[in-house]
Structure 1
Amino acid sequence: MSTEDEDLAAAWGASLEEEEQEGDAEGGAPAVGGAPAVGGADAARVLNQAEIDSLLGFDDSPQGEAKSGIEQIISSGLVSYERLPMLEIVFDRLVRLMSTTLRNFTSDNVEVSIDGITSLRFGDYLNSIPLPAMLAVTKAKEWDNYGLMVVDSAMIYSVVDVLLGGRRGTAAMRIEGRPYTTIERTLVERLISVVLRDVSAAFQPLCPVEFQFERLEVNPRFATISRMSNASILVKLRIEMEDRGGRMELLLPYATLEPVRELLLQQFMGEKFGRDSIWENHLADELRHTEVALDVVLDDQPLPLSTIVNLKAGDRLTLNVGPGAPVLLRCGEVPLFEAMLGRRENRLAVRIERELKRMKSEEPA
């Protein structure tokens, strides 16, 4: 090597060392393969974790202080709603029913499992649906509201392959980027109808409801059944048929479940909120043995205060009731019965003739 080549190599090495030192001083990563960074040192600038946390507002401030930065925006988008214990039992029952039903439907060994039950906003889920997929709009007849069932492409091709006699052990052929054929839509509608019957049967012990198939969509925008900001319950079901399978997802807005919200809040089937049958029976028995005073009212007439003040022993009050006229039986200020006045064994007695109808204003609230 000549002296000129040695000087050129030395100069090139010195320039590389200077660039690496500048990159380390500015917190950047060294260039890969010793090549200089494209666009200068600013283009190779890498933020460390502390700078990222500071940018997003996630600092190490103690709890209780006001949040700052994008953290408030992220927190405002979170969905935190009450837990519905009975709903988990309903979906566990749905898994058992679907395992049996789909085995009969496909004549294959089918395993159904739940991947998760989560709460999220309807708009967030609609934007996260992996396409292509089929979206079935369903209606809960008794609740007069809607739900959504999504079948992914893997499940669609697996069902078509199984129902049309595909051989076991071979993966279903998928042709992405083309619309679904009429045969594929018809077979998926049959699958959805079978699953919806199982969903109705899963809710049957809790409350009678029938989920009806409304329409099938492939565009999420046409499957909008609720406002984008409304909260919903999402159930992810994984269906495996040996080497084939896919996912089905059931979305129920909280507005759909509102008619049975109190039932879904129960910890176990048949739970009664705020009620104790033992205490109710004891209270009813005690009320039946309670003594109540009844007043027999012969006449009721208003008198001036001056007359009442001047009353003295020996004065007589004339009753505006003739002999044999009915008298009133009253408990406190509440009239109960109309009776006839008589005598039994040297005692005055009354015989109840009829029960008086109470006015609505007199009935307890």
Structure 2
Amino acid sequence: MNRNELLSEEEIDALVSNTGEGTGNVGGYNTDIAVESYDLTMEDSTLTTQLGALEMVCDRFSRLFRTTLVGMLRYQPKIKVSELRVETFGDYRNAIKLPVSMNVARLRPLRGNALFVIDPNLIFNTLESFFGGQGNTASGSDNFREFTPTETRVIEMLLQDMFKDLVESWKPICEINFEYLSSEINPQFVTIAEEHDPVIIKRFSIEMMNDVTATLEVVYPFATMKPIKDLLKKQVSGNSTDERDVAWHNKLFEAICDVDLEIRSNIAHPKITLYELVNFKEDLIIPIKVGDTLPLVIEGVPVFDGLYGTTNGHAAIKVLKKHEQD
């Protein structure tokens, strides 16, 4: 067999005869193993295991919002919190059942927008209770229409209260503010993420009087939560100090302890005119005035105040106190 040849003559004849007669194993190997498709361009959808603190935020919000609804409905409803779920924005948007009120708000200082999907039952019962009704209005699936100006005003009131309660719910983790952007009743006109981008969905079921139930869904884009993912993970663990951070801190501290720093102290800063400078000559005496204390400057920054003197025949400065910035 020639070294440059990949197969010998006998091996080539065996392959040709095997495939030509149709007796070869052309069906493939391991064909009975289940295969799961994976999109390499899609974000990691295991976010719920990494952002467990969102559950804490949502639980806190449910308690605050329940108290808020007491002032609107004139009774205390029950709020059930569903588990956090993650799915693509396209799938979520296509599954929205009409009619609903969809409201987009900007998350500051994060990049991205959140979506608030409000069930009309909550809107209608809040409106009815506001005018002294019994709060037993339930919307039908065929009641697909634009919201009236009065209903729109109720939606705005609900949103402002939601934003206020969410700001308080997020405070233990980070400062997040919600800024209202727009409202829609058609899901196709709402976009907070790309079609295949994952979103985090939290559903709140509100049980009101007369067996009327309503839902509220808060939707966060996955990409918006990524910058604060570590903060959310630390909140879940209950310990904001990572052992790796401590080790890194100790090593960094040991490394910078050997850095050389320039320390100096200016005894005086006399001022002269240009005429005096031109007439400088040998043996000229310049009078100076030394203050009670001298600033001890480290790398250009005044850090301590000291007293000038001598020790063991050498000029020295005695540190008295920390320097007070003007």
Provide TM-score, normalisation by structure 2: 0.61
CA distance in 1, matches of 2:144, 2:126: 19
1:106-185 residue pairs with structure 2 within 5 A?
A: 106-167=73-134, 170-172=136-138, 174=140, 176-185=143-152
Q: 1:72 aligns with which of 19, 28, 37?
A: 37
Paired residues of 1:110 and 1:242 also in contact (CA < 8 A): yes
CA distance in 1, matches of 2:43, 2:191: 21
User: What's the % identity of the aligned pairs?
Assistant: 28
1:105 corresponds in structure 2 to: 72
Amino acid of the structure 2 residue aligned with 1:118 = R
Displacement of 1:76: 10
Q: Alpha carbons of 1:287 and 1:198: their partners in 2 closer, same or farther (altered >3 Å)? A: same
Paired residues of 1:99 and 1:110 also in contact (CA < 8 A): yes
1:81 corresponds in structure 2 to: 46
Q: Give me the CA root mean square deviation.
A: 3.9
Displacement of 1:206: 0.9
2:228 corresponds in structure 1 to: 260
Paired residues of 2:114 and 2:192 also in contact (CA < 8 A): yes
Displacement of 1:163: 2.2
Paired residues of 1:86 and 1:268 also in contact (CA < 8 A): no
Q: Alpha carbons of 1:264 and 1:164: their partners in 2 closer, same or farther (altered >3 Å)? A: same
**C-alpha deviations, 1:235-261, integer Å up to 9, x for none?**
000112222330000000012222312
Displacement of 1:225: 1.6
**C-alpha deviations, 1:169-203, integer Å up to 9, x for none?**
x4446571333222112112211221121111100
2:268 corresponds in structure 1 to: none
Aligned residues: 238
CA distance in 2, matches of 1:129, 1:293: 64
**C-alpha deviations, 1:118-172, integer Å up to 9, x for none?**
011111111111011110001112114201000123333222222232225x444
Displacement of 1:281: 7.8
CA distance in 2, matches of 1:101, 1:273: 37
Q: 2:157 aligns with which of 190, 204, 209?
A: 190
1:1-365 residue pairs with structure 2 within 5 A?
A: 61=32, 65=33, 67=35, 72=37, 80-82=45-47, 83=49, 84-167=51-134, 170-172=136-138, 174=140, 176-243=143-210, 244-266=212-234, 267-269=236-238, 271-275=240-244, 344=312
SS in 2 for 1:148: strand
Q: Alpha carbons of 1:183 and 1:258: their partners in 2 closer, same or farther (altered >3 Å)? A: same
CA distance in 2, matches of 1:208, 1:78: 25
Q: Unaligned 5+ residue runs, structure 2? A: 1-29, 262-298, 300-309, 318-326
SS in 2 for 1:130: coil
Paired residues of 1:131 and 1:153 also in contact (CA < 8 A): no
Structure of higher RCO (CA pairs closer than 8 Å, 6+ residues apart): 2
Q: Unaligned 5+ residue runs, structure 1? A: 1-58, 295-335, 337-341, 353-365
SS in 1 for 2:65: helix
Q: Alpha carbons of 1:164 and 1:292: their partners in 2 closer, same or farther (altered >3 Å)? A: closer
Q: Alpha carbons of 1:98 and 1:293: their partners in 2 closer, same or farther (altered >3 Å)? A: closer
Runs of 4+ in 1 over 4 A off after TM superposition: 73-79, 275-284, 290-294, 342-345, 349-352
CA distance in 2, matches of 1:279, 1:179: 58
Q: Alpha carbons of 1:60 and 1:95: their partners in 2 closer, same or farther (altered >3 Å)? A: farther
Paired residues of 1:200 and 1:209 also in contact (CA < 8 A): yes
**C-alpha deviations, 1:295-354, integer Å up to 9, x for none?**
xxxxxxxxxxxxxxxxxxxxxxxxxxxxxxxxxxxxxxxxx9xxxxx9958xxx7969xx
Paired residues of 1:79 and 1:121 also in contact (CA < 8 A): no
Provide TM-score, normalisation by structure 1: 0.55
